[in-house]
Amino acid sequence: MTTNPEPMLLQVLQAQTLNPLVRMLHLGRPDGGVLPGYTAGSHIQVQVALPDGTSAWRAYSLINFATSANATAAPMQYCIAVRREDAGRGGSHWMHEQPQVGTMLTVQRPRNDFPLEDIAGSTVLLAGGIGVTPLASMAAQCRAQDRPVRLHYAGRSRSLMAFLPELQTMLGGDLELHIDDEAAGLNIAALLGVCAPQVKLYVCGPQAMLDAVLDQAQKLGWPPERVHFELFAAPAANDGDHAFQIVLEQTGRTLIVPADKSILDALIDAGCDPLFDCKRGECGVCAVSVLDGEIEHRDYVLSAREKSLGNVMHTCVSRAKGPRLVLDL
């Protein structure tokens, strides 16, 4: 796993339930010291306990609303928000129920796989649900640098949309809400259609929203580098997913990947030590060579041509179309 070798022990300083789905935590050093700095789009990984008695890492974006220069260069606290995922493996439930003020958590140092570029044009941010967390920090950084920015924030209902007061204070008229139960909701075609050519778009939210944005951007002829994105959860399993075999060519081992589990998780469960980071098909760290078998690609890293070659896959999300894959592992 690509994490820093020396995690930190941080204390929960504040814990607050923002709505039925979202809990906010403020973390800091027990001695009150300065924490490692970070930039907008960064995340930390927190070690959580799962119901089966094992531990795992979960990534949470760092949230900042301060618009002063260098506000995150030497922070005294990290602020994160955790959305409860009822269909998950239990990490979010643990984060909602177990850490209280004073609890010590094991935390990896900040890492940024979703950086905000320094551009001359305008920046448009599109958030879906808890995907607002990294984009709030991006909006604050744009304000601190006096850069034009507009945040579109989509959600099912106002009561489930976290941080509305803070965003309205920071952005004023540059915040546009798209709320399903109050109006027509988010119109991606209309939003992208009015973006000037120099605008860069940053998207964070569920897979369905991201897929729709990427599809519309392609229809409009946008070059891929105009759209930057991050998923706030691993892509959902498909109804047609089936179990299959993977053969590890280097060791001769054969493993079964169940329909409800990724190749990456099957490797971890079997005692292997695969490289990975995001577990959402975005970062490319878990890529492996495929020696035989047909791949069902679900990542956001490979180009269409690279996928057509069928010799590389990302084990955190992609699967086998048939009964068997042979991996160069």
Do 257 and 218 share a structural domain? no
Do 135 and 45 share a structural domain? no
Do 195 and 101 share a structural domain? no
* Residue closest to 278 by CA, chosen among 40, 35, 114, 124: 114
User: What would the pLDDT profile of 28-42 be if each residue is shown by its tens digit?
Assistant: 999 999 999 999 999
23: domain CATH number is 2.40.30.10
Do 272 and 198 share a structural domain? no
Do 211 and 175 share a structural domain? yes
Q: How many degrees, rounded to 5, is the angle at CA 202 between CA 200 and CA 203? A: 145
Q: Is 316 a member of any domain?
A: yes
Do 256 and 188 share a structural domain? no
Do 289 and 265 share a structural domain? yes
pTM above 0.75?
A: yes
List strand residue ranges (DSSP E) for 141-207, in order: 149-155, 175-179, 200-205
Range of 177's domain? 123-231
Predicted pLDDT at 323: 86
* Residue closest to 48 by CA, chosen among 107, 5, 100, 8: 107
Pairing state between β 227-231 and 149-155: unpaired
The runs of H, that is alpha helices, within the chain are 91-97, 132-144, 164-171, 188-193, 207-219, 263-269, 304-309
- Please, how many CA atoms are within 13 Å of residue 115, restricted to the half-sphere of its CB? 8
Predicted pLDDT at 1: 39
Q: Is 145 a member of any domain?
A: yes
Which residues in the chain land under pLDDT 50? 1-4
Distance, in Å, from the CA atom of 206 to the CA atom of 200, rounded to the nearest integer, reads 19
User: What would the pLDDT profile of 109-163 be if each residue is shown by its tens digit?
Assistant: 999 989 998 877 799 999 999 999 999 999 999 999 999 999 999 999 999 999 9
Domain count, the chain: 3
Distance, in Å, from the CA atom of 71 to the CA atom of 75, rounded to the nearest integer, reads 7
